[in-house]
Amino acid sequence: MAIPHLTAADGTSLPVIGLGTYQLNGSAGVDAIGQAIRAGYRLIDSAVNYENEGAVGRAARSAGGARDELVITSKLPGRHHRYDEALTAIEESVFRTGLDRIDLYLIHWPNPKQDLYVQAWRALIEARERGLVKHIGLSNFLPEHIDRLVAETGVAPVVNQIEVHPYFPQQDALDYHREQGILVQGWSPLGHGNDLRQHPVIGEIAASHGVTPAQAILAWHVARQVIALPKAASPQRQVENLDAVGLSLTAAEVEAITALGRPDGRLADQDPAVYEEF
């Protein structure tokens, strides 16, 4: 099945669904990621703090001709935001994967109290110029953080990976990114650890299409032009998630799911304006 793509303002094109790899580590992680690639996933998400760049890289190196189609992603941790440290951390990420480059590299969190994210962004720009990474972006950045980066460096991210799921639909953020030509990736797209998949509204919509609640939620992401990054280790779940991109919800169904949003919808109260991670 051909996976649709979304395109950023600079022409960067990414699949509308990718594989989250948090806790996919070691040999079992290599096997699970390899299965996903064979199933058709081409966007693979990782991070320094996931401690699995090696597993992701090994799976990518075993992909044969599919390697050139893959978008291998990693993220810079908060402890390495200073310019020189960031460049070294990026080099180490590339070395750990065993690949010639990492296709998409993000700053994991802005950590605004530290006020070093502009330095980190300049390091990502340099890494791109040196060919260590192909594309650069952000994770968990707010519009004011992005505006500052663009004002001070003249370089916009191709993507911002943020928390998006039906209890936290982030419509204002989506509108901002669309206006700026920045793609949005959604982490925890199925609302990890909450009761989303048991919600009667989602259950009713899923039943009407003959799909699982998870597939209905992923179709909602696709309809809203959010690149979902569900984690799945089992081949069956991986294929089910991938199949969701072929499901079309009605506008009313999309609105009904979006209406489930809550003021306190964040999974762990991780507000990027104050939350910091190292």
Active site residues: 50
Instruction: State whether residue 228 is helix, strand or coil.
Output: strand
Place of tokens 């419509």: 171
d(CA 16, CA 31): 23
∠ CA 260-5-35, rounded to 5°:
90
Place of tokens 């179709």: 219
Place of tokens 């089992």: 234
Instruction: State whether residue 196 is helix, strand or coil.
Output: helix
Contacts of 73 (CB under 8 A, 6+ apart): 18, 43, 44, 45, 46, 102, 103, 104, 105, 106
Residue pair 188/214 in contact (Cβ under 8 Å)? The answer is no
Q: Which of 169, 254, 178, 195 is nearest to 220 (CA)?
A: 254
Phi-psi region of 28 (alpha: psi -120 to 50; beta: other; left: phi over 0): alpha
